[in-house]
Amino acid sequence: MVAIQNLEKSFGARTLFSGVNLDLRRGARYGLVGANGSGKTTLLKIISGEESASEGTMVFPKQVKMGVLRQDQFLADQERVIDAAMRGDQVLYEALEEQNRLANGGSASADRIAELDEFIRSQSGWTLEARSSEILAGLGIPVDSHPLPLSVLSGGFKLRVLLAQVLVAQPDLMLLDEPTNHLDILSIRWLEKFLSSYEGCAVVISHDRRFLDNVSTHILDVDYGTVTHYVGSYTQFEAQKVAVRERKEAEIARQQKAIADKMAFVERFRYKATKARQAQSLVKQIEKIEVAELPRSSRRFPQFKFEPRRASGIDVVKISDVRKSFGERRVLNGVSLSVRRKDRVAIIGPNGIGKSTLLKILVDRISADLGQVEWGHETHVGYFSQDHRDQIGSGKATLLEWLWTFCSTQTEGWVRSQLGKSLFSGDDALSGLDTLSGGESARLLFCRLMVEQPNVLVLDEPTNHLDIEATEALSEALKQFDGTVLFVSHDRWFVSELATRVVELTPQGYQDFPGSFDEYLAKCGDDHLDAEQTLARAKAEQKSKSLECVSDRVVAMEQRDELKRKRNRLKNLPGKRDQALTKVEVIEKQIKQIELQYEDPAYFTRTSAADLQAQHIDQRRLHDELNQALAEWEAIEAEISALDQELTGLGSDSTE
């Protein structure tokens, strides 16, 4: 697919990488990893042609179709959401637009009408809108917003539309820079499935370990001044990289020991006549030994450490019947929780369900419509906002000056040492706040929490913008924290490492599970954060048990009634499917009759322009009806599959 030879990229005296030789193949999915600033995005830009390499060559197949997701793309607010997604396949979209104009009174030759029809038919163009809508829905954009202008969407959802454009295009080569940013848990899982069935070549930058494990067949590691190719998932890559490094270190140690042994002999017998010739020979041998110098890794781990100034009381916070709406949209409907000291509470659920809102209510950033939040004795709360600028601001102060305001009694040396633990060393401390990247601003906020020493940490998406090394360091620091943590995160690895309690917000309410994430999955039998193999494992372990929900409010009678309803539904669906399929076949036969007329060369000469136009309008109507019928048939098939899988999973333990 792409052959890269001796690639190098330098900026002045600084070389990001050199000597890069890669063969990117069709059907493979490459996770592109490395520390922030190591050159991952630069490599992606070089492959896409947006940026030139300093040296080296790249060879692509002829007419390769490329799809690129970057973090700095923009959309026109006035465009409809569905149109923006369909525009991912620009050529097909424009052909459909032209055909639509002709159908609404535009003029064109009969040859042009036939040419458009042939092209659209060959590209399955009539399915473009349905396919685009399916991808948008999979990425968590509600169907009722698809015909609306992009201006109704938030910035995070607009980025989802950009991702949808790339997926709709069905490119041969897909380059994705942080595709999971601004996706919620369910959307990330959907994207994993989509990419796993993708037949082209994909190169994906991500800091989400679980996502990389579930998607990647290969890893490209930007480190040591080059790019190294590994086969396997991210977890396999980690083990391979450590093993390679250890082998190199062992080889260098052997060489250094051999030199030391020879030098000891030389020093001992250099001036002894009977050994002088042998000693001289050893000197020549030593001069020929070339000891490889291991390059320094670009990966750096922050030294986060959160130490409470004092312990809180046993009861940390009590949340009583908290409710919140924004206009007519209700996001929190009677949430009640009691959190105790040393709990690490993960709050999960789809975007827009109220997770961040609940945290903001806890820290008094916004007020609840109803309900109360009561903090316990001696609680001191530290808050990490998803919007870093909301806490850092945009002034001209340096990092040193800004951090010093939160620990004004300390010395400059002490403040600098705290910045150093967060990887701001030397002159970095004198950089302005307005120069910070997303990852740097996150590390600075954690540095503030370290110096403020709260005993309760409320963290809203703390791993956003952090590289894998910083995420690992944060996870370890929070596990060692002798206080209480309430956090929202879409990073499944982070949640599974940290949570001792899981609170899931859903449109129907909430579930409060006192246990780890893995225990939560095993108990619920429903996969919210992990890949499908976790669900399969959890179901296998629970095969002898009946399906149960963690909420005590769902009684056994309601479960039996719901199960009976689903079985009856499954019994009736095949008949509806057959009816839908018959409708599809009838419409396809009508379309085929029109297309057979087009295959007759004389048809266009003996048919008037008015009749051609009417025939075309009729054809467009039939295609619209076909799309609707296909969508109906596919929806029934999907429901049959889902119900069948669910009821099969319950097995003989379920009772009517």
Q: Of 312, 436, 434, give the one whose Cα is nearest residue 419.
A: 436
The pLDDT value recorded for residue 438 is: 86
Residue 395: how many other CB atoms lie within 10 Å:
11
The pLDDT value recorded for residue 282 is: 72
The pair phi, psi for residue 361, each rounded to 5°, is -65, -40
Q: How far is CA 320 from the centre of its chain?
A: 34
Contacts of 348 (CB under 8 A, 6+ apart): 185, 355, 488, 489, 495, 502, 503, 504, 505, 528, 529
Q: How far is CA 318 from the centre of its chain?
A: 33
**DSSP letter, residue 31:** E
- Write the single-letter amino acid at 397: A
d(Cα 226, Cα 18) in Å, to the nearest integer?
A: 5
Residue 428: how many other CB atoms lie within 10 Å:
17
C-alpha angle 500-501-505 in degrees, rounded to nearest 5:
150
Is residue 91 a contact partner of residue 98, using CB atoms and an 8 Å limit? no
351 — pLDDT class (breaks 50, 70, 90): confident
Candidate from 195-199, 265-269, 503-507, 607-611 with smallest mean pLDDT: 265-269
pLDDT tens digits for range 380-394 = 999 999 888 888 887
- Strand partners of residue 103: none
Higher pLDDT, 60 or 554: 60
Highest mean predicted confidence (pLDDT) among 156-160, 453-457, 554-558, 586-590: 453-457
d(Cα 586, Cα 292) in Å, to the nearest integer?
A: 73
For residue 532, is pLDDT > 50? Answer: no
275 — pLDDT class (breaks 50, 70, 90): low
H or E stretch covering 67: strand 66-69
CA neighbours closer than 13 Å in the CB half-sphere of residue 374: 12
pLDDT tens digits for range 545-597 = 333 433 444 345 556 667 777 778 888 888 887 787 788 788 888 888 887 88
202 — pLDDT class (breaks 50, 70, 90): very high
Mean pLDDT of the chain: 84
d(Cα 650, Cα 32) in Å, to the nearest integer?
A: 40
Q: Of 390, 393, 452, give the one whose Cα is nearest residue 418.
A: 452
485 — pLDDT class (breaks 50, 70, 90): very high
314 — pLDDT class (breaks 50, 70, 90): very high
The full DSSP string for 586-651 is HHHHHHHHHHHHHTSTTHHHHS-HHHHHHHHHHHHHHHHHHHHHHHHHHHHHHHHHHHHHHHHHHG
In this structure, what token pair is assigned to residue 266?
Answer: 């030389």
The pLDDT value recorded for residue 276 is: 67
Q: Of 138, 182, 136, 135, give the one whose Cα is nearest residue 156.
A: 182
d(Cα 196, Cα 218) in Å, to the nearest integer?
A: 13
d(Cα 539, Cα 542) in Å, to the nearest integer?
A: 5
Q: Of 99, 151, 178, 262, give the one whose Cα is nearest residue 613.
A: 99
The pLDDT value recorded for residue 270 is: 66
For residue 541, is pLDDT > 50? Answer: no
**DSSP letter, residue 312:** -
